[in-house]
Structure 1
Amino acid sequence: MPPQGPRELRVVVFVGPSLPPSARPDANGLIWYPPASRGDLDKLDLDPDVRVVLVDGYLIRQHPPSPTEVFELVARGHEVWGCSSLGALRAAELRNHGMNGFGWVYDRVVDRTITYDDELVATLDPRTNEGTGLFLANVRFGLDQLVAANQVTQPQARSIIDGLRAVHFELRTSALCRDLAMSAGLTEPAIDHLLRSDVKRQDALALVRHLTTSVVAQ
């Protein structure tokens, strides 16, 4: 029997604003689906060896896939991963039932630093589905980095988080975050770092790269 070549890369990814098209890696066998809504996972008709990654799903104006729907996908034999947004929430809920979680957002949901779904949503551009508002999870990540670097104190970080939590997610803008950061006494370089932080994208990109590398290597 001739030696077999590398297995074909087969990963389905449900994603939206966490990893916009311009940031997605170009790899054969990666299949990009839009954010998941209720019933989308039930409709999948794939071989069990196809990995499924749940990054983004509808959390506000449509019903997202339920934990039961995700679990049934696992029960059908798929390796299912979650990160960044809805995927991190479902992975935390099903971490003892066969779903794999990945990344900073997932870890913060598990340790209950993030306890509100609205930390993972923001206003979107209806034409591109990219975020135009501020994701509170990204701000939280940026503040963690600044605190670790001794550029921000814990009380300063808490005041910014509390200020953003006090308003509806649609009102969480870069301008508001900048105002809160300035009032808390952050320096301009610290504010710029904070507004550039995007752990949702970082987690999604790292997971996709991890899975594509591991499949090719098998």
Structure 2
Amino acid sequence: MDEKKIIIFTGPSLSIEEASKILKADYREPIQRGDILKAMQDSPDIIGIIDGVFHQSPAVGHKEIIEAINKGITIVGGGSMGALRASELDSLGMKGIGYVYNEYSSGNIESDDDVAIVFDSATGEPFSEALVNVDYKFKEAVKSGIINDDERKELISVAKSIYYPKRTYYNIFKNSSIDEGKKEKLIDFIVELVDVKKQDAIAVLKYIKDLK
């Protein structure tokens, strides 16, 4: 049986180094407009979309994804840009994977701002925190009894008010009224929690691996 050709677009959600330990593939930087059409020139069987650019360059277009699907290429998305596009195109054949995809497809989140961050283009290191990840971690903190739901709502309201490049836990806590003792417990708690976009990125790779 011939080895399937797989192209994966990833970045800050899951580094290429980490990803390559899970799945052998042609890894590329976060996707932008035109990258699917370029990828199609290499005749892939599967394209996985995890990370993509939002505002610094034109985002990957719906039409190019649909064109690839119509050519018989399996398109799988999750984590960040992949989750957003999958929620918009799942009825047309794009496969969505993971928590973030489910949040979009259920209508719990709607904006690209929910997954947008800024990151170092050379290293992929994030400089800000995705709102979907903040929301996930604060919900888990409520379940664990560290904060109550009113405090969670206040923290999320503050997080939403911060422009995404400046959305960090430091800035969220600095502008909230949560007492210092709870803040310290909350910081210790969220540091230990997995990044939900990373978790979804791994799920995308494992799903594609099972397709082989």
TM-score by length of 1: 0.86
Residue 68 of structure 2 corresponds to 73
Give runs of ≥4 in structure 1 deviating > 4 Å. none
Alignment match of 1:45 (pick from 41, 44, 50): 41
Paired residue for 1:108? 103
Identity %: 27
Alignment of 1:10-25 (within 5 A): 10-25=5-20
Q: 1:165 to 1:38 in 2, by over 3 A?
A: same
Aligned residue-pair number: 209
Residue 85 of structure 1 deviates from its aligned partner by: 0.9
Deviation at 1:104, TM superposition (A): 0.4
Q: Equivalent residue for 1:208?
A: 205
d(CA) in 2 for partners of 1:125, 1:79: 30
The equivalent residue for 1:188 is 184
Q: How does 1:151-170 map to 2 (within 5 A)?
A: 151-170=146-165
2:77 counterpart letter in structure 1: G
TM-score (norm 2): 0.88
8 Å CA contact 2:16, 2:27 repeated in 1: no
Contact 2:5 2:43 in 1 (8 A): no
Q: Which amino acid counterpart does residue 82 of structure 2 have in structure 1?
A: G
- The answer (yes or no) to whether the contact 1:178–1:191 under 8 Å persists in 2 is no
State yes or no: 1:130 paired with 2:112: no
Residue type of the alignment partner of 1:206: A
Structure 1 residues 192 and 146, CA gap change in structure 2 (3 angstroms): same
Larger mean CA deviation between 132-141 and 17-26 belongs to: 17-26
The 3 A distance-change label for structure 1 pair 187 and 95 is same
Deviations 1:86-137 (A, max 9, x none): 1111100011110000000001111222122112122212431321211111
Matched to 1:98, the amino acid is: G
Question: Greater share of helix residues, 1 or 2?
Answer: 2
In the alignment, structure 1 residue 119 sits paired with structure 2 residue 119: no
Which structure 2 segments of 5+ residues have no match?
none
**In structure 2, what residue type is equivalent to 1:18?**
S
**Structure 1: runs of 5+ lacking an equivalent:** none
Q: Distance in 2 between matches of 1:109 and 1:27?
A: 26
Q: Deviations over 1:182-204 (max 9, x none)?
A: 72673533322324541111100
Is the Cα–Cα contact under 8 Å of residues 37 and 65 in structure 1 kept in the other structure? yes
Farther off after superposition, 51-60 or 187-196: 187-196
Superposition RMSD on alpha carbons, in Å?
2.2
